[in-house]
Amino acid sequence: MALVLAVVSAVLLGASDFFAARAARYTPSITVTRSAVAVSTVLSPLLLLVVDWRWIGRDVVIAVLSGLSMTTGLLLLYRGYSVARMGVVAPMSSVLLAAVPVVTDLVRGDTPGALGSAGMAIGLLALVLTGYTPSGTGSVRLGAILGVSSGVAFGVAFTLMGEVDEASGLLPVVLQRLAGIAMLTVVGLIGSAPFFAGERRSQRNVAAAGALAVVAIAALQSAFQQGASGPVAVAASQFATMAVILSVMFNRERMRWWQGVGVAATAVGVALMAAGG
């Protein structure tokens, strides 16, 4: 069940990323981030009606730290989308996102079986194949740097999510959103960018990004509570595949042969992780 939730999260995160990237074309990345997080923060209390939850002090601290790290990742990711192609930024981010929890598991001695290990390796390769595009518009170097930085920040956030007790339910997601919007409010006070998206086309995109993100993070939190962090993180990191597929469908970007191989490898990797679990 954990991998199913992780895959659902990947699909929703990919769709959220797609809408955020579209909004970042017309609106400053910090404004896109703040607007999307604001939408998800407003919607997040509804999650408390879905499953039982408890207030656990340790988990509250972890959730806040996770929220700050995740918001940092979003800032870096959306900034990357504004200066480079999604195909440059997304794979860098998603590979590092998956690698941090996997390495953490290995350091702790939590080694998956042969099938699970093969699935994670293929999943990481799939991210590179699916997301890679030859240099085009934008700064490839800066996009790669921002992608790697955002991936590390997301990886730390995901690792922290794996430390939350299942008894906390989805309360950590609500606290993550609150911590994130608080951080973005402070950033907004010292910056000059608009506080929220003003253009109608940007508003529609950030609303979709925020709504999809809160459901995605809720599914991901549940996945981490039910399964090992490494496989869950690798499965969830396949959001880059979904983002690329949507870009091909709606942004008229061409899917190259190696991206098709990457999409197929994504399915194989997730299947092997499921079999190995």
Both structure tokens of 195: 């506080």
pLDDT of amino acid 52 = 93
- Residue whose C-alpha is closest to residue 234's, from 71, 116, 67, 145: 116
Both structure tokens of 11: 């699909």
- Residue whose C-alpha is closest to residue 231's, from 7, 16, 17, 15: 7
Neighbouring CB atoms inside 10 A of 139's CB total 15
Residue 221 reports pLDDT greater than 80: yes
Burial class (CB in 10 A: 0-12, 13-18, 19+), 200: exposed
pLDDT of amino acid 138 = 59
Residue 49 reports pLDDT greater than 80: yes
Residue 247 reports pLDDT greater than 80: no
Band of pLDDT at residue 132, cut at 50, 70 and 90: low
Q: What is the span of the domain harbouring residue 78?
A: 2-276
Number of domains in the chain: 1
Q: pTM to 2 decimals?
A: 0.84
Q: State the Cα–Cα distance between residues 200 and 39, nearest whole angstrom.
A: 15
Distances (CA, A) of 246 to 5, 26, 38, 65, 67: 20, 19, 24, 31, 27
Q: In this predicted model, what pLDDT tens digit does every residue of 257-277 receive, in sequence order?
A: 777 787 778 777 777 766 665
